[in-house]
Chain A
Amino acid sequence: MEIPMIYYLVVSAIMFFAGVYGFVTRRNLLAVLISLELMLNAVDINFVVFNRYLFPGQLEGFMFTLFAIGIAAAETAVAIAIIINIYRSIHNVQAKNLDDMKY
């Protein structure tokens, strides 16, 4: 056993909270979506590491990560379609201008 499990978990925690920082501070919708991808990716690392280190004979975390990657792809595609549509109607993608669409 060369690399302790906790190292991986610390790396993925830092990555997750970098994503949280971006999610709170960004204003461009695409940048918010990029931060969301960071958070999803950090959780995937956690699943893989727990599976590999604590239950090496099973494949639960592996499969969960596989499905999470697929769902993340679907979610990103739909979100980008919505953002392109917003751009078409109000000509920018800043979050503060989104309430223009109500009136």
Chain B
Amino acid sequence: MEQVANQVIFYLLSAAIIIFSVLTVTTRRILRAATFLLFVLFATAGLYFQLDYHFLGAVQLAVYAGGIVVLFVFSILLTSGPGEKSERLTNKKRAWGLIASISGAALCLYALLTHVFPVSQFQNGGALDMKQVGHTLMGMEKYQYILPFEALSVLLLACIIGGIMIARKR
């Protein structure tokens, strides 16, 4: 019973991801594009929850859905008038985009479907231990990640300073 529910949820989430990501790149109103992006990010967080990575799903919701999309909506409202539509695509441009994406997708799907992956050892066994995540993030041993964590904190500091420097009035 639980397995059936799991499968139904997976199919709903992946249908949402596919439909909304196509809508994100085809709609002509940019504010709607940002809203559809938000739905895609929600569905992705749902996939993370389903794979038992609850912490990652929470991070995805907090950082992407809560932070980045709000930034997008703010900047869209700052730079475009209400109800503004982007101009229609020329056929040439659409053809190039379709060629690039469909040929890329065909190549990628061919490689995926013909490659034989090693046998999966995944069994649905409860959430990841939060203590283990914390130790891995903050430890200094092998396979622990304090150095990238600190590098990322310096990057975020540089990004704050850079954002202020670029965007302030002279």
Contact = CB atoms under 8 A, between A and B. Distances in A.
Contacts of A56: 121-123
B89 A25 contact: yes
Contact of A18 (B22, B93, B96, B149): B22
Given A30-B79, A78-B163, A63 B145 contact: yes
B101 to A, nearest CB: 4
Interface string A41-76: 100110011001110101110110111011111101
Contacts of B80: 28, 93
Interface of B: 3, 6-7, 10, 14, 17-18, 21-22, 24-25, 30, 33-34, 37, 40-41, 44, 47-48, 51-53, 56, 59-60, 63-64, 67-68, 71-72, 75-76, 78-80, 86-87, 89, 93-94, 96-98, 100-102, 104-105, 108-109, 112-113, 117-118, 120-124, 128, 132-133, 136-137, 143, 145, 148-149, 152, 155-156, 159, 162-163, 166-167
